[in-house]
Amino acid sequence: MIRSVKKLNMEEATGVLDLKGVTADVVCDRFSDEGWVRTTVHVPSEKEITIYVNRQELVTILCTPAKLNFLVLGFLYAEGVISGLGDVLSMRVCNEESEVDVMLSNPEYQVPTQKRTLTSGCGGGATFRTQGQRVDSSLVVTPAEVLSLMKELLQEQMELYQLSGGVHASALSDTENLLVVAEDIGRHNTLDKIQGECLLKGLSTRDRLLLSTGRVSSEMLLKAARMQVPVVVSRHSPTESAVSLARDLGIALVGYARGGRLLVYSHPERLGRSEAV
């Protein structure tokens, strides 16, 4: 059955992670100081889903099979296929067939014909966009706030990671609280899930912080720019292309936010740093 976006909003935009089908039990052999022992552990599930728009195949994404409605809506928004929920007439998420059918309010829409860029995302990501829009914001956040939020994400919010490991997490914050959290095998997928959840819940992403446990690539920076997020924080390193984009787009890009330290690769004024000497 094709379900309207309004119905999806009421029934599925809870933000609660359903772990059914998201992990699998695998038998393995564990070695430790006590020797070998056969045991059963949890590992994250991986699913291939194909997105169809107006009955046209758009893209196939490898992902963690949770919050697929958020993932698809966020991906369509990030790629400029939609500008809001009003552009979506209906969406059918079919887990058995590993596909999502989206019908737009514009029946004349045609899927992009330009070259698709395969990204460095761990879930085999893809994007049709290679340029971003500059972020206009006066937001300033302190290093202490950034480090505290990253600590909260790592220690309190990574439910799936604590169960199985093997996934990334990202969060949207208003500098005081983590508003939306998403986990996935693909770093880029976590941002799409956050964007999609915000669309369904009517939450603004503008003038917020994005935190991620994984490497920040150029694709993730473009997604952040589309969300109009002025500060992007990672526990790891950004790529060279991500640093260049951040400088051009007005985004403060922060890496290695661990313990009491961090590195700021662009626009340090957004973290209260005066002009460097």
pLDDT tens figures, 41-94: 998 889 999 999 999 999 999 999 989 999 999 999 999 999 999 999 999 998
122 is catalytic: yes
Helices (H), 34-131: 68-78
What is the model's pLDDT at position 87?
96
Beta bridge partners of 184: 168
Domain assignment present for residue 6? The answer is no
Report pLDDT digits (tens) over 50-59.
999 999 999 9
Q: What is the pLDDT of residue 117?
A: 47
Task: Supply the pLDDT for residue 164.
Answer: 74
Is residue 177 a part of any domain in this protein?
yes
DSSP, collapsed to helix, strand or coil, labels residue 69 as helix
pLDDT < 50 regions, the chain = 1-2, 6-7, 9-15, 117-120, 122-124, 277
Pairing of strands 261-266, 47-53: unpaired
Distance CA 276, CA 172 (A): 28
Chain position carrying tokens 């914001």: 137
Q: What residue numbers bound the domain in which 232 lies?
A: 143-271
In this structure, is residue 86 part of a structural domain? no
Q: What is the DSSP string of 197-217?
A: HHHHHT---TT-EEEESS-B-
In a domain, 173, yes or no: yes
**Which pLDDT score, from 0 to 100, does residue 4 have?**
54
Q: How many CA atoms lie within 13 A of 66 on its CB side?
A: 25
Q: Identify the CA nearest to 233 among candidates 262, 272, 204.
A: 262
Please report, for the domain that includes residue 193, its CATH number. Answer: 3.40.140.10
What is the per-residue pLDDT for 127?
57
Residue 94 within a domain: no
Q: How many domains does the chain have?
A: 1
* Residues 181 and 157: beta-carbon distance below 8 Å: yes
The answer to whether residue 126 is domain-embedded is no
The 10 Å Cβ neighbour count of residue 219 is: 26
Give the HSE-up count for residue 59: Cα atoms under 13 Å, Cβ half-sphere: 24
Give the active site residue among 28, 94, 122, 198: 122
What's the longest Cα–Cα distance across the chain? 65
Any domain includes 16: no
Q: Considering the domain boundaries, does residue 116 fall inside one? A: no
